[in-house]
């Protein structure tokens, strides 16, 4: 049954900074009054700018909720998914299947790195999300200039491939990366379970994204080989090394071995700190519950690329984890005594 209920969430306590690396002296950071989704009450919890976040009343569907903003946005994005995105992806899949059986495989020549599915998805995201102000502020793009190729004539070329690594707190992390890359090709490293999700699973397969089953050693080896090959082909990889979305809003431990693909090719790791994606789309909401433009504003903060060559697995993991944690607002920093790496 449907019930109309105001959403009152219990604020969680604010912890101090995450533990510092052994190579860095302990630091003290001043706590702020910023709250993540699980700490925002419907009545309005204050943040550092003395504004409130109020999702308004919502209907409850089982364990999930939909407020007015999310209901309108959801209908809009589903409409464009049905009339444009899904048919376009199916057409692309059919063309690739037919082409693979013909001499010369024209689709493989036109789109060897499966960039077209990304462009189809990006166009859908632009139409679906732009009217609702869902795009984040992107900070630190200048840090990527060190990856830009310089031609013999001195002119700058495209960015070299890299592994982009981020904290993961919301489904909005995925379209936020689409906004970050724009027309540039990239592939997500995703859980194998996503292939079972209707529509999304087909999109993952058609787009050539890398899937990983951590319980299957053979799957892990295939994932490793596929990811390494994408990097060699000049395609960026995106991974969320926590392995799943955080349920508290705070960044958790990283899975060990998350950066072996980048190390194998010698490509750098680009740390990304994503702010307030879980406020925009809380874990218990079907669709986003607020705009990214309203406070607290969603931010994608790009850190300086980190070299992978000559570094041990644990050393690289700790460095990337610390940079991402340092770039997060206080309410999203790892809780005290959170392990940096886990198996």
134-184 per-position pLDDT tens digit: 999 999 999 999 999 988 888 888 999 999 999 999 999 999 999 999 999
Angstrom distance (rounded) from CA 279 to CA 288: 9
Q: Express each pLDDT in 71-85 by its tens digit.
A: 999 999 999 999 999
Angstrom distance (rounded) from CA 220 to CA 207: 19
Q: How far is CA 274 from CA 42, 144, 221, 242, 295, in A?
A: 23, 17, 29, 13, 15
Helices (H), the chain: 68-80, 86-100, 106-110, 116-129, 173-181, 200-206, 217-232, 260-265, 277-280, 313-326
Angstrom distance (rounded) from CA 210 to CA 200: 13
Q: How many C-beta neighbours within 10 Å does residue 32 have?
A: 12
- Residue 219 banded pLDDT, cuts 50, 70, 90: confident
Mean pLDDT of 308-316: 94
Identify the bridge partners of residue 285 per DSSP, sorted by sequence position: 65
Q: Express each pLDDT in 14-33 by its tens digit.
A: 434 434 333 333 433 333 33
The number of residues in the chain equals 343
pLDDT of residue 202: 83
Q: Which residue has the higher pLDDT, 241 or 26?
A: 241
- Cα 319 → chain centroid: 19
Q: Express each pLDDT in 248-306 by its tens digit.
A: 999 999 998 889 999 999 999 999 999 999 999 999 999 999 999 999 999 999 999 99
Question: 335 Cβ partners below 8 Å, 6+ apart?
Answer: 15, 18, 248, 250
pLDDT of residue 52: 62
Rounded to two decimals, the pTM is 0.84
Task: Compute and round to an integer the Cα radius of gyration of the chain.
Answer: 21
pLDDT at 35 over 60: no
| Local structure of residue 133 (DSSP, 8 states) | T
Residue 154 tokens, joined: 């001195």
Identify the bridge partners of residue 270 per DSSP, sorted by sequence position: 164
Mean pLDDT of 232-250: 95
Phi, psi of 235 (to 5 degrees): -100, 135
Q: Express each pLDDT in 63-74 by its tens digit.
A: 999 999 999 999
């Amino acid at each position: 049954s449907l019930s109309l209920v105001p959403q009152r969430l219990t604020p969680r306590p604010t912890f101090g900074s995450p533990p510092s690396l052994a190579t860095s002296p302990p630091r003290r950071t001043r706590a702020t009054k910023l709250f993540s989704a699980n700490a925002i009450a419907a009545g309005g919890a204050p943040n550092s700018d003395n504004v409130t976040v109020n999702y308004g009343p919502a209907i409850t569907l089982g364990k999930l909720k939909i407020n007015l903003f999310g209901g309108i946005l959801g209908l809009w994005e589903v409409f464009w998914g049905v009339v444009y995105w899904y048919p376009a992806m199916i057409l692309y899949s059919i063309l690739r299947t037919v082409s693979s059986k013909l001499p010369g495989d024209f689709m493989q020549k036109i789109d060897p790195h499966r960039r077209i599915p990304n462009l189809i998805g990006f166009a859908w995201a632009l139409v679906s999300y732009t009217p609702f102000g869902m795009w984040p502020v992107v900070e630190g793009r200048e840090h990527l200039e060190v990856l830009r190729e310089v031609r013999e004539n001195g002119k700058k070329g495209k960015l070299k491939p890299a592994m982009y690594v981020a904290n993961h707190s919301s489904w909005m992390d995925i379209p936020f990366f689409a906004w970050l890359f724009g027309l540039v090709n990239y592939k997500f490293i995703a859980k194998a379970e996503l292939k079972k999700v209707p529509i999304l699973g087909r999109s993952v397969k058609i787009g050539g994204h890398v899937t990983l089953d951590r319980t299957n050693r053979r799957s892990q080896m295939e994932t490793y080989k596929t990811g390494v090959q994408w990097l060699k082909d000049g395609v960026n990889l995106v991974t969320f090394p926590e392995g799943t979305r955080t349920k508290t809003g705070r960044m958790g431990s990283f899975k060990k071995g998350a950066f072996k693909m980048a190390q194998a090719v010698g490509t750098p790791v680009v740390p990304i700190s994503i702010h307030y994606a879980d406020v925009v789309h809380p874990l218990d909401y079907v669709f986003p519950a607020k705009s990214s433009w309203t406070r607290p504003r969603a931010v994608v903060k790009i850190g300086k690329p980190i070299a992978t060559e000559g570094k041990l697995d644990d050393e690289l993991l700790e460095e990337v984890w610390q940079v991402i944690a340092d770039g997060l607002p206080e309410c999203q920093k790892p809780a005290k005594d959170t392990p940096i790496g886990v198996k």
